[in-house]
Amino acid sequence: MSCCSKGCCNFKFEEGPPLVDNSVTNLNAQYQFLPYGTILEEEEVIRIWMESGETKTVILEEKIPLVFTDSGPESADGKKEFPWQLVALDSGFEYEDLMSWKHHDLYNPNETSVLLKFNHPIEVKPSLKMRLLQILYKIRNL
């Protein structure tokens, strides 16, 4: 699978967990707005990706259906407030476009937009001692 149908990108995604439908702007993204929904489920291990072809495995913590009012997007249950500026930044949307998505040219009232919240697993960076032990282990096994 390539990132675009035009064939501008020359990379292929590696095999692994399912990919999110759209790209994110950085691999540390906490949120992603998907205007046309997704079949991914909560607590599923997934991969987010950037247009450069880099991917990162994360856990889909929440999948929140959205409704759009004249004042902007809201969760369908109306219970939560979200940092919409961060959502726009992580998703690669302009803040004004996101807040007025109901009036955007690409808005489809028949599709349920969703907001995905990601949980990034803690990545343990190897210490100097761990690296030294790895080198010694390799030397021992030569």
Task: Classify each residue of 78-115 as buried b or exposed e, where b means 16 or more C-beta atoms within 10 Å of its C-beta.
Answer: eeeebebeebbbbbbbeeebbbbbeeeeeeeeeeebbb
Q: What is the mean pLDDT of the chain?
A: 87
Give the pLDDT of residue 3.
54
Query: 3-state class of 57 per DSSP?
Result: strand
Q: Specify the residue for token string 């702007």.
A: 25
Q: Which domain holds residue 77?
A: 31-140
Distance CA 119, CA 77 (A): 21
Give the pLDDT of residue 77.
85
Residues of the chain falling short of pLDDT 50: 1-2
The verdict on residue 2 lying in a domain is: no
Q: What is the DSSP letter of 102?
A: G
The verdict on residue 72 lying in a domain is: yes
Give the pLDDT of residue 1.
47
Give the pLDDT of residue 29.
94
The verdict on residue 81 lying in a domain is: yes
42-68 tens-digit pLDDT: 999 999 999 888 899 999 999 999 998
* Domain total in the chain: 1
The verdict on residue 66 lying in a domain is: yes
Token output for 137: 């282990």
Q: Is the pTM of this model over 0.75?
A: yes
The verdict on residue 3 lying in a domain is: no
